[in-house]
Structure 1
Amino acid sequence: MSSRTSPRSKRILRSILNLEDFERVTRSRLPRAVFGYVEGGADDGEACRHNRDVFRSLRMVPRVLRDVSQCNLQTTLFGRTYAAPYIVAPMGASAVVGFNADNAMARAARRANIPFVLSANSITPIEEMARTYPEAWFAAYQHPDERNIVDMCHRVSGAGLSVYMLTADVPVASNRENNVRAGYTMPLRPSVRLSVDAALHPRWLIGTLLRTIRHRGIPRISNFDPTSRPTIFSKTLGGVTGHASFSWRQAEVVRRNWKGPFVIKGLLSPEDARIAREIGADGIVVSNHGGRQLDSAVSPIEVLAAIKAESGTMTVLADSGFRRGTDVLKGMALGADAILIGRPFLYAATLAGEQGVARAIALLAREIGIDLALLGVATPGDVSADMLLGQLPSAAAANAPRKADPLRIIRT
């Protein structure tokens, strides 16, 4: 580990055995408002809970007496081979949660040879990220104005980022009651409650907030726009959203002006997958935004197979609630080419910077390697829907990809 990692942090990291442990340990280290922003969902949080519950409803059927001595986690996405089938998802305001967290996650991802996606709602500029992780990916909240689209595409490509991911599922800000109750708003509004909350967490106050201000000045949201950089206190910032008027027509403008892989994030409908394919998208992310948008939304795992059936040659990614190696493999069995994971990597960066994220990446890789061997397959791509038993919606079950040795999926 790096000499910058304290002995206490090293001991804590050794005690962490899975991705969920990072949330447990980090909870007490962050102000209630900051932790609530990361952890919470919309409305009553039903979508967040459902994202986890749906994995528990699926069981896996292993095969035995197969040679699994050479399991390989490598996955190819958009022509590049990565070491494992998971991606550090875009997360807004990460560097306000943990000091320099975007760069810490990106450095760890680059060393591990997995993709990292920078959020438009980030205080880390695109150009800085390109130095940390050349060919990192970018997730945009794109303005519908055509000139803005063109300029944003030029900015991202000029910096050297490799994949443009359009965030499509945030036309308006969702109802985050938990944020309001905890005192977190965007733009940030200083208050007595927030000040007391921060003072009760001096490690975050000194080690993240004040250190960030010393390093960067007042934090600015750096990547919403080709040129504008509003501070986190700016009244012009408003809610962190896309734009209600942004439509498939503007998505086609992005497609025409972005020459690299173009991915649309936030799909839950097979019909939308068809449209994305027809306008020339290279990939899609099946996602309910980690339960942070529509609280009654289905979980991606429920619709993955049906969306896969409409995807054609597009790369299919998924996120929302994936935490275990078996979760990743269940998603891939239902048609995903790779999985995006967010919150645990941010908690890891908050806890111990790059070394914390490296620990999280390694723990998940170890789980997937063990799970592959126990399932009796050599690569994640060998896992199929035939290895799943459980309650899937009938549409998903009917469209699930079938391979050799068919078993059955119990349909609701």
Structure 2
Amino acid sequence: MPDPGVHCLADVERAAAAVLPADVRDFVGGGSGAEVTLDANRAALDRVLLVPRVLRDVSRCVTETSLLGCPSRLPVALAPVAYQCLLHPEGELAAARAARAAGVPFTVSTLSSVPVERLVATGADVWFQLYWLREPGRALDLVRRAEDAGARAVVLTVDVPWMGRRLRDVRNRFALPDHVRAAHLAPGPTAAHRPLAVAASALAAHTEASFSAALTWSSVAELRAVTRLPLVLKGVLAAEDAVRAAECGVDAVVVSNHGGRQLDGAVPSAVALPEVVAALAGRCEVLLDSGVRTGTDVLRALALGARGVLLGRPALWGLAMAGEEGVRRVLGLLALEFSDALGLAGCADVPAAARLRTVLDGRAPRLARTPSP
């Protein structure tokens, strides 16, 4: 059972840090380069100040919404994260069950240590995240497999031609233990399981050998043509790319810098979000990823124009802390915080949150997109 002293997601992270090996803790918590963008994600969200409304009936705050056509009790989905059996023996299976209990979607990674079929069998609304492989036919086969299994959406990650240089992993010579495998790829040990002779990340070497750096808009069109599922592009920061995605028939974009794990120095997701929302003008859904740690962050994302957020590291800390129960605790705390923030901001539901005004860095309030009485 989780420590009764756990009252927020930062407490969960501290509890997880106490039980994880140092190299696994660094693998989850670290970013690329000097970790400038990792830190900037958090700072950017903290600079978004909300302008609450008063004298509104908030005796009942409704947190439900829909994401990519999936009903969700919160404007939150669990983000795709690889190799979750590093954190707990049940890995993604425990996280998917927790997502189902919380009524939010679960995104399974191409590099999941549990196959998509078992995750769909939990009853969760499962989205399948795709890395574009060096053999595009294999990538499309994975999409068909996920669709046949009952996945509800395909999330194509577009910001990883190769893994960013993550110095914590390099210094630790990080490699996977033998019992943790990519269930959708090679069945046996791979280069990711063999520490390199020099200071380097075996996992980065393996992904560079597996992923294609030739992912282009024609690849998106090819993927769009082979699946009837909602298609999401994750890793969009430029408004021009978001518009191009909508023109390609994409159903949603995730404004994300991969949690500060790819290009160090990239713009924080919360800073990029308003421009992407304005450029798209409602042509597809917009989700925010990277740095979300509180229910107030969820409210901030909605006020900046996002439909919802993806939650990554906090769910992993919960998984490490107490397996399925730990992830449930994380989602329960987030739900409590979001409902509290929603009501204190004078919002009775999620659409009202989208009409809140914000102050950025002390500048004049950003006007709500839809004036409210």
TM-score, reference length from structure 2: 0.91
Quote the residue 2:222 is aligned against: 253
Change (3 A) 1:291 1:381: same
Worse-superposed segment, 92-101 or 294-303:
92-101
Q: Residue 129 of structure 2 aligns to a residue in which SS?
A: strand
Say yes or no: does 1:38 pair with 2:28.
Answer: yes
**2:183 alignment partner, one of 185, 201, 222:** 222
Give the drift of 1:393: 10
Change (3 A) 1:239 1:283: same
Q: Residue 266 of structure 2 aligns to a residue in which SS?
A: coil
Q: Is 2:83–2:91's contact at 8 Å kept on the other side of the alignment?
A: no
Q: Residue 286 of structure 2 aligns to a residue in which SS?
A: strand
Quote the residue 1:354 is aligned against: 324
Letter in 2 for 1:402: R
Give the drift of 1:183: 3.3
Say yes or no: does 1:382 pair with 2:346.
Answer: no
Unaligned runs of 5+ in 2: 196-201
Quote the residue 1:268 is aligned against: 237
Identity of aligned residues (%): 35
Q: Is 1:101–1:350's contact at 8 Å kept on the other side of the alignment?
A: no
Quote the residue 2:164 is aligned against: 174
Give the drift of 1:239: 3.2
What are the residue-to-residue correspondences of 1:12-411 with 2, within 5 Å?
12=3, 14-143=4-133, 145-185=135-175, 188=176, 218-223=179-184, 225=185, 228-231=186-189, 232-233=192-193, 238-240=205-207, 242-311=211-280, 312-384=282-354, 386-391=356-361, 402-404=369-371
Cα distance in 2 for partners of 1:247, 1:379 equals: 39
Quote the residue 2:198 is aligned against: none
Letter in 2 for 1:41: G
Give the drift of 1:97: 2.0
Cα distance in 1 for partners of 2:360, 2:289 equals: 20
Q: Is 1:319–1:341's contact at 8 Å kept on the other side of the alignment?
A: yes
Give the drift of 1:240: 2.6
Q: Residue 317 of structure 1 aligns to a residue in which SS?
A: strand
Cα distance in 1 for partners of 2:85, 2:363 equals: 39
Deviations 1:80-112 (A, max 9, x none): 321111111111111112221211110011011
Q: Is 2:143–2:227's contact at 8 Å kept on the other side of the alignment?
A: yes
Give the drift of 1:133: 3.5
Cα distance in 2 for partners of 1:289, 1:385 equals: 27
Letter in 1 for 2:183: S
Worse-superposed segment, 384-393 or 269-278:
384-393
Q: Is 2:9–2:314's contact at 8 Å kept on the other side of the alignment?
A: yes
Q: Is 1:107–1:354's contact at 8 Å kept on the other side of the alignment?
A: yes
Cα distance in 2 for partners of 1:391, 1:243 equals: 39
Deviations 1:210-260 (A, max 9, x none): xxx7xxxx432122x4xx434242699733353211111111111000111
TM-score, reference length from structure 1: 0.82
Cα distance in 1 for partners of 2:73, 2:125 equals: 15
Cα distance in 2 for partners of 1:391, 1:230 equals: 51
Q: Is 2:355–2:371's contact at 8 Å kept on the other side of the alignment?
A: no
Cα distance in 2 for partners of 1:27, 1:107 equals: 23
Q: Is 2:91–2:114's contact at 8 Å kept on the other side of the alignment?
A: no
Give the alignment's Cα RMSD to 1 decimal.
2.3
Corresponding residue pairs, total:
361
Deviations 1:332-385 (A, max 9, x none): 111110100111111101111111111111111111111111111111221246
Cα distance in 1 for partners of 2:225, 2:188 equals: 28
Cα distance in 1 for partners of 2:35, 2:133 equals: 28
Cα distance in 2 for partners of 1:299, 1:386 equals: 21
Give the drift of 1:303: 1.4
Q: Residue 297 of structure 1 aligns to a residue in which SS?
A: coil
Change (3 A) 1:347 1:134: closer
Cα distance in 2 for partners of 1:101, 1:131 equals: 15
Give the drift of 1:386: 4.7
Give the drift of 1:135: 3.8
Give the drift of 1:180: 1.5
Cα distance in 1 for partners of 2:331, 2:239 equals: 31
